[in-house]
Each structure stands twice: as structure tokens, then as C-alpha cells.
Amino acid sequence: MLGTLTILLLCQLVGELIARLLHLPIPGPVLGMLLLFGGLLIRGGVPRAVQDTAGGLLRHLSLLFIPAGVGVMAHMERLSGEALPIVVALFGSTLFGVAVTAKVMALLARNTPPRTGQPDTSTQTPETAP
């Protein structure tokens, strides 16, 4: 776990350095993700420890958004002053975005069925789907 955390932080740090040195518009962590992805491709596999720690971190991904979410408090004035445009824009664009992305993807990917060796889940009932 300690080793993996070090690798993750190193990738982020190098990503941050590259972004700043080259004045790239990409945030450091995203460059870090690409660096780690490249490293995994070169290595040809994910070490057990990295798999476990990354899985653990991502399992509670939603926890990491809470501190920023509570920031809703600090913006109450603006949020209530512009409640109508904000509520309409957030609901409208989010649901539109989910639907459009999924629809386009489903239409274009219908000729490439999910990888063999995995159950074909495309015919399951979508009641419990995300």
C-alpha cells in the first residue's frame, strides 16, 4: 500500500511538474494518470499491490468529493440569488449529457458486442442499471 501510494504521488508530482514547465492546460493528476497508464503498458501488467490499493482508493471515490460539496455553504448567496438558471442548467445539462452520450455510444457500438468470455449483459433488464 505504501509503495503504491508513493507511485501514485510520484506520477502526480511528475505530471504537475510537466504541466507547469510546459504550460500545458492539462491538470497534473491527469498527466499522472497517463504516465501510470504508460508505465503499466510497458510493464505489461498491474502488480497485485497496485491493483489492491488503487481499487481501495477508487471504491470510496465518492467520499473524496464531500469536502468540496460542503462548499455549497460558502456559495449560498449566489446559489439562492441565481437559483433558477443554476437549477435548470444543472438538471437539464446533466440528464441531457448522460442520455446523449449513452445513446450515441449504444448506436455506434451495437456492432461490436461485449468481449467474448464475459456474459453478454446487454440483454439484462435495465431496471437496476446505473
Partner 1 sequence: MTDSLNADLRDIWVYLSASPLAGLTMTLVAYQAGLWVFERCGRRPVLNPVLIAVLLLAGVLTLSGIEYRTYFAGAQFVHFLLGPATVALAVPLYNQFQQVRQSARAMIVALLVGSSASALSAVGLAWVFGGSAATLRSMAPKSVTSPIAMGVSEQIGGLPSLTAVFVILTGIIAATFGTWVLNLARVTDWRARGFGMGVAAHGIGTARALQVNEVAGAFAGLGMGLNGLATALLLPTLYRLFW
- Residues in region 47-86 near partner 1 by CB under 8 A: 50-51, 53-55, 57-75, 78-79, 82, 84-86
Q: How far is the CB of 77 from partner 1 (least distance, A)?
A: 11
Q: Does 18 bind partner 1 (CB under 8 A)?
A: no
Helices (H), 44-129: 48-59, 66-70, 76-81, 83-109
Question: Any residues with CB less than 8 A from the CB of 114 and at least 6 apart, and which?
Answer: 120, 121, 122
Among 2, 21, 22, 25, binds partner 1 (CB under 8 A): 25
Q: Is 1 in the site for partner 1 (CB under 8 A)?
A: no
User: For the stretch 113-122, what's the b/e string if a residue is b when 16 or more beta carbons lie within 10 angstroms of its beta carbon?
Assistant: eeeeeeeeee
- Choosing from 41, 42, 48, 80, the residue that interacts with partner 1 (CB under 8 A) is 41
